Chains A and B, each alone.
Chain A
Amino acid sequence: MDMRARLLRATAARPHVLPVSTPGGTAARLAAERYLRLHDLPLALTPADADLLLVTGPDRSALRPAVDRLWQHLPAPRARAHAPTADAVPGALARCRADLADHTHNGDREGGGRDSGRGHEGHGGGMEMPAGLPMAGTGEDRDGLSLDQLHVSLGPLLADWPSGLTVRMTLQGDVVQEAEPSRQQLGDDGPAPLWAEPWARAAGGEPVTVEEAARRRAAAHLDSLGRLLAVAGWAGAAATARRLRDELLDGTPGAALRPEVRRFARRVGRSRTLYWLTRGMGVLDGERARAAGVSGPAARAGGDVPARYRTWLEDIVGDVDRLGETAPLDPAEEGPRGGGVGERWPSAALVRVLPELLEGAELAAARLIVASLDPDPDELAAAPQEVGIHG
């Protein structure tokens, strides 16, 4: 066995995975995250750090160019797979790892690892530009200086980001001067979004217990918190949030979960450091939120990022206390992102308030603000472009 084969086997033993979840694929994303967490396969944040590209969720033709571009940037050795449903995740990952370890497999030994999406395409104006890249223009910044303006898009695919959402930003340094969100409208063809599904079933007349809805809502908030904490750079707490989320969805009884959920809520909710780092960011007061159509935790919190994550934590503790209630769910009750009476896609309103919250924020703050609102990609994909208030 030669050196190369040994290195490849080591790579396949613990590959870094770049997960890409398509809108409508929350269940598959959760299965993938759980699998990666339990098998100690690290998440890659950029294609440069990834060995495997794992697409989870239904195939969305609108996102295919973005996925292909990520794939182009993966350095060799590399492998990719698509797991449309939760059940397909383990098989897809096993196949990828076998591909990686197989040194006779010549599929993707070359190419990749290169930013080939742009550049090399001629020159700007009469001047020779480095690699054919256009130079940045300048504009007034908030301090009265004339600085370079960079046009950078966040999304549609990004770690800890609502996939399918694109925010086109004009940056000066790392201050956001303009932000323009857009989302791909993929149609309301699939099943109801995973997080709002109990409410949809209850509205359709099916019997749904309070326990089921409370479990789903607490898990949804823990999922959002996992993302927020990951963006805030608190790896330990983010991992705990995701583990508790998976345990809730597994149906672990409330009595077993309660102490740990309370401990987690205390640790995050009372963290002075997290509060100090996020206070005063993305202030969205209750009235303005409701005027924009926002309902749910973001509207109830009526404040900055800490107000929103503390509302989530309170909701989680309240919901875990309600596990075991067998009363039927009132479909008018608030879902994870709000809604209830009439509003079917409350996440669309969360996107609508983004520009005013993001402009003037720094890049890090912008990511935290989006994560603290956490619009659900499944709802965004299903909602029509002009959000209709049904009912």
Chain B
Amino acid sequence: MDTLESALLAALGVVALVTAVLVFTCDSMARVTFALLASLCCVGGVVAVLGLPYLGVVTVLMMVMEMVVMAVFMIAYMMNPAGLMPMSMLHNKRGSLAVSGAVFATLVAAVFLTPWPAQVGEPPPDTTFQVGKALMGEQMLTMVVLGFVLLATMVGATVLATRRGRYDRFGDDLDLRPARDPVRGGVGR
């Protein structure tokens, strides 16, 4: 790793930490969300600089989408209407401090106690293929099962959260067409 990369790594790490602190000190829901996004983007940058560009860029991509969706929901469902009022982001200070302290200590300990393998040979020029093989080669079954579990969770959560079921939409005999919807969709079911 040359000096430029080390400097970049350090800078990204510092910005990630600073924005992470902002997550707890800002008083607006929108700013907190985007401070978290900035922090996670820096983490994506760190991963890319460490030689895994695919994982780095994908982290950035997914985090932007997730944080935008999160901003929408957090602000829409805050008790404080529209999230415009300044508010504290800290709740249950003592409990959360204990939990986060313990997790941090465990992770740091793990970093130093894990017997990391020594580097064998040169890293390949394009790591994307290796990452794909590691994830999809030996772990194919895990990934497929995980994918279905995630999908089932999302569908299940949506179904549980929906007040109106198919009998409300299509009538008791499910033969009402078009469906009784407050606003008609684009496919005309």
A136 & B163 in contact (Cβ 8 Å cutoff)? no
B82 & A148 in contact (Cβ 8 Å cutoff)? yes
- Interface: B108 (CB within 8 A): no
- Which B residues from 132 to 171 make CB contacts under 8 A with A? 163-164
Number of residue pairs across A and B with beta carbons under 8 Å? 30
Q: How far is the CA of A135 from the CA of B81 in the complex (A)?
A: 7
- Interface: A233 (CB within 8 A): no
A143 & B163 in contact (Cβ 8 Å cutoff)? yes
Across the interface, name the chain B residue whose C-beta is closest to A127: B85
Q: How far is the CA of A219 from the CA of B76 in the complex (A)?
A: 45
Q: How far is the CA of A142 from the CA of B182 in the complex (A)?
A: 8
A130 & B163 in contact (Cβ 8 Å cutoff)? no
B85 & A130 in contact (Cβ 8 Å cutoff)? yes
Q: How far is the CA of A260 from the CA of B71 in the complex (A)?
A: 49
Q: Could you tell me the distance in whole angstroms from the C-beta of A232 to the nearest C-beta in chain B?
A: 15
Q: How far is the CA of A105 from the CA of B164 in the complex (A)?
A: 63
- Which A residues from 364 to 382 make CB contacts under 8 A with B? 365
Size bracket, chain A contacts: 20 to 34
- Interface: B84 (CB within 8 A): yes
- Which A residues from 137 to 180 make CB contacts under 8 A with B? 137-138, 142-144, 147-148, 175
List chain A residues, Cβ under 8 A from B164: 143
Q: Could you tell me the distance in whole angstroms from the C-beta of A146 to the nearest C-beta in chain B?
A: 10
Q: Could you tell me the distance in whole angstroms from the C-beta of B82 to the nearest C-beta in chain A?
A: 6
- Interface: B123 (CB within 8 A): no
- Interface: B183 (CB within 8 A): yes
B182 & A280 in contact (Cβ 8 Å cutoff)? no
- Interface: A384 (CB within 8 A): no
A135 & B84 in contact (Cβ 8 Å cutoff)? yes
Mask: chain B, 55-80; 1 = CB below 8 Å from A; 0 = not: 00000000000000000000010000
Given contacts A144-B163, A360-B182, whether A130 and B82 have CB atoms under 8 Å apart is no
B182 & A276 in contact (Cβ 8 Å cutoff)? no
- Interface: B186 (CB within 8 A): yes
Size of the B side of the interface (Cβ < 8 Å), in residues, is 13
List chain A residues, Cβ under 8 A from B182: 142-143, 175, 360
- Interface: B184 (CB within 8 A): yes
A136 & B183 in contact (Cβ 8 Å cutoff)? no
A148 & B81 in contact (Cβ 8 Å cutoff)? yes
Across the interface, name the chain B residue whose C-beta is closest to A279: B184
Across the interface, name the chain B residue whose C-beta is closest to A142: B182
A135 & B163 in contact (Cβ 8 Å cutoff)? no
Q: How far is the CA of A280 from the CA of B187 in the complex (A)?
A: 13
Across the interface, name the chain B residue whose C-beta is closest to A148: B81
B85 & A135 in contact (Cβ 8 Å cutoff)? yes
- Interface: A362 (CB within 8 A): yes
Across the interface, name the chain B residue whose C-beta is closest to A133: B84
Across the interface, name the chain B residue whose C-beta is closest to A280: B184
- Which A residues from 245 to 287 make CB contacts under 8 A with B? 276, 279-280
Q: How far is the CA of A17 from the CA of B110 in the complex (A)?
A: 66
B183 & A362 in contact (Cβ 8 Å cutoff)? yes
Across the interface, name the chain B residue whose C-beta is closest to A173: B76
Q: How far is the CA of A280 from the CA of B85 in the complex (A)?
A: 39
Q: How far is the CA of A66 from the CA of B145 in the complex (A)?
A: 62
Q: Could you tell me the distance in whole angstroms from the C-beta of B136 to the nearest C-beta in chain A?
A: 40
Across the interface, name the chain B residue whose C-beta is closest to A138: B81
Across the interface, name the chain A residue whose C-beta is closest to B184: A280
- Which A residues from 337 to 385 make CB contacts under 8 A with B? 360-362, 365
Of the candidates A130, A144, A365, the one whose C-beta lies within 8 Å of that of B84 is A130
Q: Could you tell me the distance in whole angstroms from the C-beta of A369 to the nearest C-beta in chain B?
A: 13
13 sample A-B contacts, Cβ–Cβ < 8 Å, listed by A number: A130-B86, A135-B81, A135-B85, A136-B82, A137-B81, A143-B182, A144-B163, A147-B76, A148-B81, A276-B186, A360-B182, A361-B183, A365-B183
Listed in ascending order, the chain B residues whose CB lies under 8 Å from chain A are 76, 81-82, 84-86, 163-164, 178, 182-184, 186
Q: Which 9 A-B pairs have CB atoms at the shortest separation, nearest pair first?
A: A148-B81, A136-B81, A280-B184, A144-B163, A135-B81, A142-B182, A130-B84, A362-B183, A148-B82
